[in-house]
Amino acid sequence: MNVQDRRRLLGPAAAKPMAFSYTTVDAVEKTVTNTPPKDGEGEEVLSLHTGFIENCNGSALVEARNSRHQTSLITAVYGPRSIRGSFTSQGTISIQLKNGLLEKYNTNELKEVGSFLMGIFNSVVNLGRYPKSGIDIFVYLTYDKELQNETLDEELQSKKLFSQISSLIPHCITSITLALADAGIEIVDMAAAGEANGTVVSFIKNGEEIVGLWKDEGDHEDILECISACKEHYKRYRDLMISCLLEQNNLDAKSA
Amino acid sequence: MTSNLQLPKIAYPGKLICPQYSTENKDGEDVIFNYACGPGTKLLQYEHNGTSLEAITATLIGTVRCEEVNNTDDEEEELEVADQSTEEEKSVDASSSEVVKRVVKVIRVSVVPGTEDDRRTSKDTNNDFANNLPKEGDIVLTRVTRLSLQRANVEILAVEDKPSPIDSGVGSNGVGIIAAGGGSGAATFSVSQASSDLGETFRGIIRSQDVRSTDRDRVKVIDCFKPGDIVRAQVLSLGDGTNYYLTTARNDLGVVFARAANGAGGLMYATDWQMMTSPATGVTEKRKCAKPF
């Protein structure tokens, strides 16, 4: 607060900047792991953290790794803050995805995913509570890499590369949901999604309602099979998110 | 006892808390519990075994709190209407069964961030502005940014969470923290974290007609506010896209902090409702002051 704002009159002379006492929780590794990574098509290991960025309202870091693929993405939520322009009785959400270290995806692809995610979160966030406000969500794809695997042949590798963005979407949804919950923004349910053969299905309400469906190249003869596979992932991710959030907020999980 | 149901203590988004209604028969009296959504909850439809059910669902992480609501006037009217319909139903089946007295209890269920202990011991300012956006009737603290003949433009800095009693007395709420001026710390504020330099704050307008309640068409805005003043105001309406509409037409509303000589001088104190004095120089300036106590 040393920088004097010379353009406008400030408050009372004796006013001090308000100091908030944050409960400084040490950066404890809130790693929630189900099982150690198995070989081959093993289980995915997921690590979730929330609330580590100071200057935004809510943040989340999701790191996922299985034997073939490693992803890490950071989400920051800003708002609700005022928007200019015409009156809106509901809040407005904007979601932006950004490439991290590796310029892997082109802008159009990321925009498309962004608008798909916006569709999901328009029905997940309790927008009626935020009139005249905007909620801005930024997803930063820090790290996203295929792990070298000798057993996979070249052809299969390139095929996998092709359908990568769809394998990323479930993690985007997990991380946005966590960041929104961390920001204290009202959401009707913990949204999560699963991916199967390039199809991403996002659920709420214990898998009874679908809030988003994304289809990419990949063989999906039986859509119902895809949905039930995605639902399995959804349930796993949701349970992990809830246990992570309760732990983060020092709330006892056993009475929940 | 507020409810006959065992509500969960801790909730997270998507956690079902309770149904909309529950009933209980106590001492030959039907008690109907009507659960209402408070902050942090929403009434949602669920499909279960082919039937659609409504349940109060949490939308935030935190502790569940429920309190009985004593009906205000308009709610009572609604209930009366509801009562009439139940009356009719009763008269229909009165022939078959005897008339039972019914009591309707309205219980507000809300989810509050933090644990139970946190809330009891915490004296920190609440910075949960996100879920306390200004709404009609709220008291807000604002800073004057711009004046014109017709209105004063302000930016909203904080929203009062709990409306403080009109006398601001410590006695009336018992356990308050005594504020610096001698009033009570009854009011807690949700402070906006938005940056005013980036233009992210919520803005408001105090029209000259809304400055005071008497002689309102002869108000000179420049004699009531100066840029930089901190003004306590009430929200009249959500207004248009850009501005909330605010009023200071009440004794306890108006300028609370101001500096003399357009901000160059020292802090001034209200001497009456339209005069402020700087104790250092003795200079007086015109303002529409809020009653300090």
**What digits encode the pLDDT tens for the residues A101-118?**
777 788 898 999 999 999
Let me know whether B59 and B177 are in one domain.
no
Do B92 and B85 contact (CB within 8 A), yes or no?
no
Q: Among B118, B149, B184, where does a domain finish?
A: B118
Q: Do A20 and B44 touch (CB under 8 A)?
A: no
Let me know whether B148 and B209 are in one domain.
yes
Q: Is B22 a residue whose pLDDT tops 90?
A: no
What does the pLDDT look like over A161-195, one tens digit per residue? Answer: 555 788 889 999 999 999 999 998 999 999 999 98
Q: Do A256 and B9 touch (CB under 8 A)?
A: yes
Let me know whether B161 and B280 are in one domain.
yes
Q: Is residue A210 part of a domain?
A: yes
Distance CA A89, CA A183 (A): 21
Sheet holding A209-215, edge to edge: A192-196, A199-204, A209-215
Let me know whether B104 and B153 are in one domain.
no
Q: Which of B9, B42, B52, B61 to mutate: most A Cβ within 10 Å?
A: B61
Q: Is residue A182 part of a domain?
A: yes
Residues 6 or more apart in contact with residue B98 via CB below 8 angstroms: none
Q: Which of B6, B12, B287 to mutate: most A Cβ within 10 Å?
A: B12
Residue B17 sits in a domain of what CATH number?
A: 2.40.50.880
pTM value?
0.80
Q: Is residue A194 part of a domain?
A: yes
Q: For chain A, which residues score pLDDT lower than 50?
A: 1-2, 26-41, 254-256
Let me know whether B114 and B127 are in one domain.
no
Distance CA B261, CA A26 (A): 48
Total number of domains constituting chain B: 2
What does the pLDDT look like over B116-130, one tens digit per residue? Answer: 666 555 555 555 777
Residues 226-255 of A with CB under 8 A from B: 242, 245-246, 249-253, 255
CA quadruple B187, B192, B196, B200: dihedral, nearest 10: -140
Residue of A nearest to B136 (CA): A131
Which residues does chain B have within 8 Å of residue A208's beta carbon, measured at their own beta carbons? Answer: 46-47
Of B76 and A180, more confident: A180
Residue A89 sits in a domain of what CATH number?
A: 3.30.230.70
Q: Is residue A31 part of a domain?
A: no
Let me know whether B80 and B221 are in one domain.
no
Q: Which of A189, A241, A250 to mutate: most B Cβ within 10 Å?
A: A189
Range of the domain at B38: 10-118
Total number of domains constituting chain A: 1
**Out of B13, B127, B227, closest to residue A9 by CB:** B227
Let me know whether B112 and B189 are in one domain.
no
Range of the domain at A77: 45-255
Do A48 and A250 contact (CB within 8 A), yes or no?
no
ipTM score assigned to the predicted complex = 0.78
